[in-house]
């Protein structure tokens, strides 16, 4: 089945549509009450197993049409691919750094208190 991408005339959202025949692609899906216009994020193709799903880069809006373009986009914007557990690792590291900072502050306060205490005569 042919696959086409349409961009909304009002909000610029891109939608992917699959049609039974190429003749059906003349009118795009409606979005925000406005009609959509055919855009070429990818060459019209056919859905198949393992086919890359094109999208617009959330960072700079460029069309990402292949796995290589995805890797280039990540590298160009100094990003890494998302992996399971990455958020949990970041949260764990942030908590650890916060605990270390609190320990350091307590140590500095304790040392300052020891230096300022006057001997009892």
> CA-to-CA distance for 56 and 29, rounded, in angstroms?
18
Quote the pLDDT of residue 21: 55
Question: For residue 72, what are the domain limits?
Answer: 2-76
Specify whether 71 is located in the same domain as 12.
Answer: yes
Taking CA atoms, 94 is separated from 22, 33, 83, 99, in Å, by: 52, 44, 18, 9
How far from each other are the two terminal CA atoms of the chain, in whole angstroms? 94
The pLDDT of 81-106, averaged and rounded, is 91
Q: Higher-confidence residue: 14 or 77?
A: 77
Q: Higher-confidence residue: 14 or 69?
A: 69
pTM, rounded to two decimals: 0.36
* 6 and 37 Cβ atoms separated by less than 8 Å: yes
Quote the pLDDT of residue 19: 61
List of E strands, 45-104:
45-46, 55-56, 63-64
Specify whether 68 is located in the same domain as 101.
Answer: no
Specify whether 20 is located in the same domain as 49.
Answer: yes
Specify whether 68 is located in the same domain as 9.
Answer: yes
């Amino acid at each position: 089945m042919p696959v086409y991408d349409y961009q909304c005339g009002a909000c610029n959202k891109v939608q992917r549509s699959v049609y039974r025949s190429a003749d059906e692609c003349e009118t795009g899906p409606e979005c925000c009450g406005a009609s959509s216009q055919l855009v070429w994020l990818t060459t019209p193709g056919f859905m198949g197993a393992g086919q890359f799903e094109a999208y617009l880069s959330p960072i700079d809006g460029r069309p990402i049409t292949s796995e290589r373009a995805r890797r280039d986009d990540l590298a160009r914007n100094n990003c890494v691919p998302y992996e399971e557990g990455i958020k949990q690792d970041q949260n764990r590291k942030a908590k650890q750094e916060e605990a270390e900072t609190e320990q350091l502050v307590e140590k500095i306060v304790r040392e300052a208190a020891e230096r300022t205490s006057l001997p009892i005569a």
